[in-house]
Structure 1
Amino acid sequence: MNEVIGELLPLAVGVAISPVPIMAAILMLLAPRAGGTSAGFLLGWVAGIAVATGVFTALAGVGFGDSDEPSAAVSWVKIGLGVLLLLLAARQWRARPKPGTAAALPGWMSAMDSFTLPKAAGLGFVLSAVNPKNLLMCVAAGTAIGSGGLSGGGDVVAVAVFTALAASSVAVPVLAYAVARDRLRGPLDGLKQWLQAHNAAVMSVLLLVIGTVLIGKGIGGL
């Protein structure tokens, strides 16, 4: 279990510090219906991570569980995922705004003032389970769990730990806002502006580091 959790930590951090969902959560907290939309987004975000990771945990368990050399197969999967993350890192770096140019918000972020709880939950699920960058990290996490030789209960615990860590960056501001909303509006607005300006750079560095780690682990397992 400890070895599997160790592999999950950098992947969970990668999902957790992804700027886009944090920005989305902050925008919902600054919207007129902050309580309902932010809670819905958090529920969708947690569900998406848990579902995506659980599905690939099950697939990895079936695909590698009866193999004579599961470590080699898993290692090649990690190398492939690492290469994809490096490609995404290069794409993010090229997409960063030029100095002095304001980063534009995606169109769906501009429409958050009118979001209902179901729409917010759906957005949270899509960003966590379908967004390519997060999906690749959930695939890597599911592969690590499913090929880790854990029991069924151990797999569930590992998925839960990964989900809790990966969702923490969205959960913390949502829960903190519910407790002290008046004091958090200013800091949240400042954080939103910083993330908007540095989104591409943060994501490119993040994907570069995690992609390199996955490739290193894959090569080490061959």
Structure 2
Amino acid sequence: MHRAFIFAVALTTSAIAFAAQAAEIKNMVIVHGALADGSGWRKVAEILQQRGFNVTVVQEPITSLKDDVAATNRVLDLQDGPSLLIGHSYGGMVITEAGNHANVAGLVYVAAFEPDKGESLVSLASSKPAAGTSIRETKDGNYLYLDPANFAADFAADLPKEDAAFLSRSQVFASKEAFTSKVTEPAWQTKKSWAIVATQDRSINPDLERDMAKRAGSETIEIEASHAVFASQPDKVADVIAKAAQSAQ
């Protein structure tokens, strides 16, 4: 009886320690969207780092969904312990696949596509078109970019002019292949997720953001901001991410 009691206490103590360890999420892996790069996430990263999180920004090539998932997995492989995976815009396509990585404890979609199996960015975007119409093709017809003349209006209307101009100049062109690739295994089906809806978004229809989040069962937070909500409202975005880390177990 005495030995059984000691074993039960030891087992309970171990379970409590394991639960505490599982709940401790300190790693944040951010996947930027297309027509932008990771530099716009600096303020969010700094806020999260000040709160004690380890933040890494994936600079994916946007040459194909497969390539971008691989780039994200390489970063996830380097993390020590569970990670929260955050994706903006096209980055939502990437984290939906890369979120199946064993290190991922939860997903945060920031004004992002949240696809189901068999869906591509093009199929989702065409289901509820956005207000912006400034995407252009490169001369070879293989890549897409956002017209610098309309970048601020359609992507970052609530940023200072100079900040929007920098985002425009640092944008990563997206291959058509990346936009037409279909998701195979949506991680949100098995892992907790959160979704930020940018209510003034002209790059993704806000109603589409709401519909995708509802379908996935994501906890939804609405922020009055442009598509560049991560840059114009970094404190609010960081707060959502930090709270998600506390909730993801």
Tell me, yes or no, whether TM beats 0.5: no
Taking structure 2 as the reference length, the TM-score comes to 0.28
User: Could you say which structure has the higher helix fraction?
Assistant: 1
Taking structure 1 as the reference length, the TM-score comes to 0.30
Q: Which has the larger radius of gyration?
A: 2
- Structure with larger RCO (C-alpha < 8 A, sep 6+): 1
User: Could you say which structure has the higher strand fraction?
Assistant: 2
